[in-house]
Amino acid sequence: MSVQTGTKRLTTRDIQALKQRGEKIAMLTAYDHVTASLLDQSGIDILLVGDSLGNVVLGYETTLPVTLADMIRHAAAVQRGSTRAIVVCDLPFGTATDPETALRSAVAVLQETGCQAVKIEGGAAAVPTVARLVGQGIAVMAHIGLTPQAVHQLGGYYRHGKTDAEARILIEAAQALQAAGAFAIVLEMVVPELATEITGLLDIPTIGIGSGPGCAGQVLVINDLIGLGIQPAPSFAKPKADVAAIVRDAVTAYIADVKSPSEEPPLV
């Protein structure tokens, strides 16, 4: 007999249904059990275990040093902390260089974490990889526009799709990734008008980040949303809290209590 829980986890079909009925899709990153639990309890649709953990958790300047082992450890924690949201795990730099390498990486992620899908960066070049994984029953979220794993090849972080030629490349890549079986596509730092156009051309949802409001959904790094960071959030992120200030204030008060106690500690 199977164990029944009170919460049904969303599926890729549920995400598709959100787009079909015009309801926006909400996605946030999570990297640990507690954060995943809080976001899940709040009703988030998709939890992305992004390789952005390299920047906001592990202290790297880019996502490139993040390993598959890093992703598996964090994705497993997020999976344990959630019961409703789909959990998507990034395949980090160097683990999806060709279809067979990506398949081995994705199988390891799904088997060792229990998450429901993987995310792969790249445009037309990633199409055979997406098709290979989907052919093996793996749910894949694609990612085009600004692809942080290619930051050195791209020459930095900037908006994509500004020229007609760039726009055509992105449109064709999005259509090809949909045809290959991706269940959704992240559009990062794409010109908003182009992101809206791509969203209208596709049957599958687009998830925007820094690409305007015309996408089928939005994603943010959780630290940018809640103001938990050392550096300012990107211009497209509008923090809803200042958790960093709360932490600093709490720690300052604690230090003051420890160094200048107002009363004698109780005898033990």
Among 186, 183, 141, 179, residue whose Cα is nearest residue 160:
186
CB 212 within 8 A of CB 235: no
Hey, what's the torsion of the CAs at 44, 45, 48, 53, to 10 degrees? -10
Give the Å distances, CA to CA, from 215 to 93, 146, 177, 200, 207.
Answer: 26, 15, 16, 9, 6
CB 157 within 8 A of CB 179: no
CB 19 within 8 A of CB 204: yes
Which residues does 257 contact at the CB level (< 8 Å), separation at least 6?
none
Separation between Cα atoms, residue 170 and residue 210, nearest integer Å: 16
Q: Which candidate in 121, 172, 188, 263 is catalytic? A: 188
Task: Respond yes or no: is residue 188 known to be catalytic.
Answer: yes
Known catalytic residues are 188
